[in-house]
Each structure stands twice: as C-alpha cells, then as structure tokens.
Amino acid sequence: MNQDAILQALVADKLVSAPDSARGRLLTEAARLFRDRGYERTTVRDLAAAVGIQSGSLFHHFRTKEAILKAVMVETIRLNTALMQAAVDEAQGDRAKLRALIHAELESINGLTGEAMAVLVYEWRSLSPEAQEEVLALRDIYEQLWLDVLGRLHRSGEVTADPFVVRRLLTGSLSWTVTWFQSGGKMGLSELTDQVMLSLGLID
C-alpha cells in the first residue's frame, strides 16, 4: 500500500484529517507556526490568519489552542506509525525491515510531516499531563516497531549495542538530517539510508 492509500485509509477511519479539508489545512499551518515560532508565542489570531479565517472560527474545529497542538501530534504519530508498519510488513528479513524503518522515518522528517514531527519533539511538554499521556502512549506504539526489529537483530548478533540505545541514537541522528540534508541534491534518501545502515555495520 502506497503513502497516499495509507493516508486515505486513515482519513476514512477518521484517524487523521484530510489534508485538503479545513481541519487538515489548519493542522498543517499550526505545525508550521508552532515549529517556527514556538507553541507559546503562536496566538489563536496567528493560526486563524494563516488559514484565512476569523479567530472565532477556529473553535468550530477545536475548543482550545492546546487541542490543536494535541491534534497535530496525535495525527502525526498515527500517520507515521501506519507508514512504518506498512514498510516493515513489505520488507523481507530484519535488516531489510530496519532499512525500511530508517527510510520511512527520513521521508517523514524531510517531507510529508517534517514540521509536525519537529513540533512533537520540542513542544510535547506544552500539553497537559492527560494529553501527554495519550501522546506518549501512541509514541510507544511507534517506538515498539523499532525496538522489535532492533531486538531481533540484537539477539542474532547483527546489532551488538543495546537496542534501546541504538534507537535513541538513531532518533537524534535522523531528526538532525533536517538541518543539513537537501532533497534533490547529490544524495537521495535511499543513498542516505544506505549510509545509515553502513554506519551500523549492516551493509556487507
């Protein structure tokens, strides 16, 4: 199943917003503003102006600014978890599954959900404890996909370091690519993925 098909299936199940809907456009602009200005410095008026509506109209979709932040995070995790799961399911063998996870995360960071993923990393503490609990529960599902694959590679001796540590290191290094990787440059995402696998000693 390709990326568009996965997205449409999630939209049909009301798990994420259609990108071209009013709610979807609002979440896209909110992710951009929260990343660029920070959650606290972004006002309801800023959000409304970004999508060309009156401030009061925002509350037809969300009760509070925090609800918008939470929706950005929840929908981003849901989409990326589905994309990661599809990538894992299609790959044969644990090395291929890890490569698929790395490639899918690089695509998310440097493309479709890059702004929202940055918000997820830097702004989740702005949520209430109850909202944090929900977001972290979803994130745990996402992370378990990685830990399952890394755990099997560790047990087979192909990855010698602790799987949790490897994942934390990958989280940091892959997220940082947004600061230096240039789409359309000499190196594409597939080549970058191969370099990551090479750094892990998983390309012969």
- List, for residues 161-182, the tens digit of each pLDDT value: 999 999 999 999 999 898 888 8
d(CA 134, CA 101): 23
Give the pTM: 0.89
User: Is the pLDDT reported for residue 204 higher than 70?
Assistant: no
What pLDDT is attached to residue 61?
80
Domains (ranges, CATH) in the chain?
3-199 (1.10.357.10)
Per DSSP, the residues of 102-148 read HHHHHHHHTTTTHHHHHHHHHHGGGS-HHHHHHHHHHHHHHHHHHHH
Confidence of residue 91 (pLDDT cuts 50, 70, 90): very high
Confidence of residue 60 (pLDDT cuts 50, 70, 90): confident
**To the nearest whole percent, how much of the chain has pLDDT over 70?**
99
d(CA 123, CA 73): 9
Residue 123, CB half-sphere, CA atoms under 13 Å: how many?
Answer: 29
Q: Which secondary-structure segment (H or E) carries 80? A: helix 65-90
Nearest residue to 164 (alpha-carbon basis) of 175, 179, 148: 148
